[in-house]
Structure 1
Amino acid sequence: MSAIKTAPAKNAVPSGGCSASACGSAAAPEDMSPEVWAKVKDHPCYSEEAHHYFARMHVAVAPACNIQCNYCNRKYDCANESRPGVVSERLTPEQGARKVLAVAASVPQLSVLGIAGPGDALYDWKKTKATFDAVVKDLPDIKLCISTNGLALPDHVDEIVAMNIDHVTITINMIDPEIGAKIYPWIFFQHKRYEGVEAARILHERQMLGLDMLVARGVLVKVNSVLIPGINDEHLIEVNREVKKRGAFLHNVMPLISDAAHGTHFGLTGQRGPTPEELKKVQDACEGGAKLMRHCRQCRADAVGMLGEDRGQEFTLDKLPETIAIDQSKRDAWRAQIEAKRELAAFARMAVKPAPAAKPGHVLTVAVASKGDGVINQHFGHAKEFLIYRADGAGVKFLGARKIGDQYCQGGLGEDSSLAGIIALLGDVDVLLCAKIGGCPKGELKAAGIEPSDAYAHEFIEPSIAALYAKRAADAPADA
């Protein structure tokens, strides 16, 4: 490995900032213990708030897998597809650790290292463990995270706990083996290949056992479920109830990505993914069960950066420096700045009083263009995704992110075809908030019934939406 230099840590708190212990943002929410909050507050996948501030990365060191999913086709040299199981480079543990340190040196907001394949992190455990062992020597403040299908999970719980890996994601798409047989053609377990319902039954039993073991040891578990229309869409409500009963921390119901070009079984046989409305319907039906994660971006197995962005091509092996210097004081200073931003956002939220509904049952759906920090700070034409929120008399709630197929501004010009796609994407949205928007798209959006506004540019998202909703309520006719 190239030489690694670690600068001594310093207590760097910017003027006007605050220490973690003094900041209001460091306090746990009312429904969460301080111990759990300490684990999730800086994890962009386990905390919706944290994903505005912190970056994650995956390293592709675990290519082997012990099951076959009908929605998966692992690609090891692909830079063009954005979905789980796809990577540009397969790495050795040494290469993976070197890449992590290079990213940490350039991206001080990096808080999480995850291994999500492109196969299974626990089936390829030796490579996963070797990578983690190499990284924590030089980057002790990084959080370690594993994603797994769960088949090999019970065999590694003791090692997971011993290595202080306190975040594990299990992909659980069914609790009924009859449904599972439609998703998994085969598994490889204890040196034998199983197929059909028997394979799904074994996988289900191992997933539940692994989940129970992790929860009993205090490890936070996020459950990922792929929504497959006509196969497990209604069934995922039962999955949600079951994983809540067993103590899962989060449940992430995400859409099937299905395209014949991906070469998956579902793609080649014409199985479609859900519409945004279908996805929202299932997510809403799960409310009251396990707490839902709605900010997932279905990252590649070598993703780098904030959720919603992928800087992986900046850190391919041929671009890594020979000497990597980790400046811990820079990382500490960045975290102090983030805490200061979170404190300001918390005060802004506290200053907004709940507004009465403009009329009974009135709901305002708002799309936001944001580059991060929980602020409305992106030009409409530069947005690659929109954050969707719902406001009503009870407050403001995040619903999820919607990716844009093509940005509106390309090469400095607005594209009419892209605008049509964006308008279709935002068909159920009432208001779009952004930092700036040109006259042409503003007019087209208004004509489609979507009100674009830059009046809240560079303000915090949730307080701005709450203020907008309150204004609508105040301006509503008395008989509304």
Structure 2
Amino acid sequence: TINMVDPEIGAKIYPWIFWNHQRVTGVEAARILHEQQMKGLEMLTARGVLTKINSVLIPGINDEHLIEVNREVKKRGAFLHNIMPLISEAEHGTHFGLTGQRGPTAQELKAVQDACMGGANLMRHCRQCRADAVGLLGEDRSEEFTLDKIEEMDIVYDIDKRRAYQEKVEAERQAQHQAKVDALADALDASLIAGQEDLKVLVAVATEGQGRVNQHFGHATEFQIFEVSRKEALFVGHRRVDLYCQGGYGEDEQLPSIVNAINDCHAVLVSKIGACPRDELKAAGIEPVEEYAHEFIEKAALNWFADYCTRVASGAIVHQERGDARIRQGAVMAA
């Protein structure tokens, strides 16, 4: 984790460090920490270790400074840079939580990430997992791989099965790429006709994986966010939300928090959605879209964008800028 490369800023983040058997405070502490972090990264790079740098965005303290952090870690060979939002809820008991420091909004986080484009490669799919987590994002399987279970495991490596799976994945990737290419032409034509060649909008997507729009709105505990234009559908992050369907019924009191989490999006692509959340989203200015169920996400987003531009050009709708959204640090899920 590297949150600063300027000790003056570092002193606002780290009250003290423990160095050479003594506590050091202030700018001097931040200077020592900075020098050791840079040395550590350089040593890892020299040994060929792929290194991901985490940086926590703290509004008003290091938000603009993280652009310089990105530049400096790239210079020293960082493989990935993950700029994540500060977890500042008071219940976590952290220093910033107890002092009232807020975390960033969705647009503040995206603005800093966008400003770092062209520097160190950005990681936008972070779920802020535990450092020792095992499994997939959003699917912690650590309990299956505890030390006491290792000796009992029967490891079977089936090379033929692995190759077959790799071939399947590659075929799916090719199909996904071709679907995107086909959809790009329509998006380009529609945006030019509408006089919206520079238009960019955010779209939320409910997905269970495989790169497809394949999840019911009520079953989503997070939405993937794509920035869509005539040139591309670019993944820019994800938003945790409260689970709407619990015990087979929709929890209407959860809807406002879901709307707040995707309030900067013009549409939400889902495989299916109920009448109540559909009406709530429309009232908030977010278009619920079921037409592209089970299609590849990029194709679906680009096709929706082309249709959106066509409706703008015809006067059926008027394009309006959206507001900001709230980043959820945790959400209510089914037991």
Q: Name the CA shift for 1:210/1:316 in 2 (closer, same or farther; >3 Å).
A: closer
User: Structure 2: how far apart are the matches of 1:303 and 1:348?
Assistant: 34
Are 2:153 and 1:324 aligned?
A: yes
Q: Displacement of 1:321 after TM fit?
A: 8.4
Deviations 1:102-160 (A, max 9, x none): xxxxxxxxxxxxxxxxxxxxxxxxxxxxxxxxxxxxxxxxxxxxxxxxxxxxxxxxxxx
What TM-score do you get using the length of structure 2 for normalisation? 0.83
Deviations 1:427-452 (A, max 9, x none): 11111111111111111111211111
What TM-score do you get using the length of structure 1 for normalisation? 0.59
Q: Displacement of 1:476 after TM fit?
A: 4.0
Letter in 2 for 1:237: I
Map residues 200-211 of structure 1 onto 2, 5 A cutoff: 200-211=30-41
Q: Which runs of 4+ in 1 moved over 6 A?
A: none
The structure 2 residue matched to 1:444, chosen from 274, 280, 296, is: 280
Identify the residue that residue 391 of structure 1 maps to in structure 2: 228
User: Structure 1: how far apart are the matches of 2:169 and 2:276?
Assistant: 36
User: Structure 1: how far apart are the matches of 2:135 and 2:152?
Assistant: 21
Letter in 1 for 2:214: N
Q: Displacement of 1:311 after TM fit?
A: 4.1
Specify the SS of the correspondent of 1:327.
Answer: coil
Q: Displacement of 1:177 after TM fit?
A: 0.9
Identify the residue that residue 303 of structure 1 maps to in structure 2: 133
Letter in 1 for 2:110: K
The structure 2 residue matched to 1:291, chosen from 88, 105, 121, is: 121
User: Structure 1: how far apart are the matches of 2:80 and 2:280?
Assistant: 39
Q: Name the CA shift for 1:289/1:326 in 2 (closer, same or farther; >3 Å).
A: same
Identify the residue that residue 369 of structure 1 maps to in structure 2: 206
Are 2:233 and 1:402 aligned?
A: no
Identify the residue that residue 248 of structure 2 maps to in structure 1: 412
Q: Displacement of 1:293 after TM fit?
A: 1.5
Are 2:183 and 1:352 aligned?
A: yes
Letter in 1 for 2:302: A
User: Structure 1: how far apart are the matches of 2:200 and 2:233?
Assistant: 10
Q: Displacement of 1:334 after TM fit?
A: 4.3
User: Structure 2: how far apart are the matches of 1:345 and 1:295?
Assistant: 19
Map residues 60-459 of structure 1 onto 2, 5 A cutoff: 171-312=1-142, 315=144, 317=146, 320=149, 323-329=152-158, 333-354=164-185, 355-356=187-188, 357=191, 358=194, 359-404=196-241, 406-459=242-295
Q: Is the 8 A contact 1:433 1:452 kept in 2?
A: yes
Unmatched runs of 5 consecutive residues or more in structure 2: 319-335
Letter in 2 for 1:254: M
User: Structure 2: how far apart are the matches of 1:429 and 1:184?
Assistant: 35
Relative contact order: is structure 1 or structure 2 higher (C-alpha 8 Å, sep ≥ 6)? Answer: 1
Q: Name the CA shift for 1:184/1:352 in 2 (closer, same or farther; >3 Å).
A: same
User: Structure 1: how far apart are the matches of 2:119 and 2:150?
Assistant: 47
User: Structure 2: how far apart are the matches of 1:287 and 1:317?
Assistant: 39
Q: Name the CA shift for 1:383/1:219 in 2 (closer, same or farther; >3 Å).
A: same
State the number of aligned residues: 308
Q: Name the CA shift for 1:475/1:276 in 2 (closer, same or farther; >3 Å).
A: closer
User: Structure 2: how far apart are the matches of 1:461 and 1:341?
Assistant: 13
Q: Is the 8 A contact 2:134 2:140 kept in 1?
A: yes
Q: Displacement of 1:184 after TM fit?
A: 1.8
Q: Displacement of 1:191 after TM fit?
A: 4.1
Are 2:298 and 1:467 aligned?
A: no
Specify the SS of the correspondent of 1:328.
Answer: coil
Deviations 1:262-281 (A, max 9, x none): 12222222222111122122
Q: Displacement of 1:396 after TM fit?
A: 1.3
Q: Name the CA shift for 1:247/1:472 in 2 (closer, same or farther; >3 Å).
A: same
User: Structure 2: how far apart are the matches of 1:478 and 1:442?
Assistant: 24
Q: Displacement of 1:426 after TM fit?
A: 1.3
User: Structure 2: how far apart are the matches of 1:321 and 1:379?
Assistant: 37
Deviations 1:40-93 (A, max 9, x none): xxxxxxxxxxxxxxxxxxxxxxxxxxxxxxxxxxxxxxxxxxxxxxxxxxxxxx
User: Structure 1: how far apart are the matches of 2:292 and 2:166?
Assistant: 26
Q: Is the 8 A contact 1:240 1:289 kept in 2?
A: yes
Q: Name the CA shift for 1:290/1:229 in 2 (closer, same or farther; >3 Å).
A: same
Q: Is the 8 A contact 1:211 1:221 kept in 2?
A: yes
Deviations 1:392-429 (A, max 9, x none): 1221111100111x200011110111111111111111
User: Structure 2: how far apart are the matches of 1:250 and 1:410?
Assistant: 37
Q: Is the 8 A contact 2:184 2:230 kept in 1?
A: no
Specify the SS of the correspondent of 2:53.
Answer: strand
Q: Name the CA shift for 1:310/1:331 in 2 (closer, same or farther; >3 Å).
A: same
Coordinate RMSD, CA, aligned: 2.5
Q: Name the CA shift for 1:195/1:218 in 2 (closer, same or farther; >3 Å).
A: same
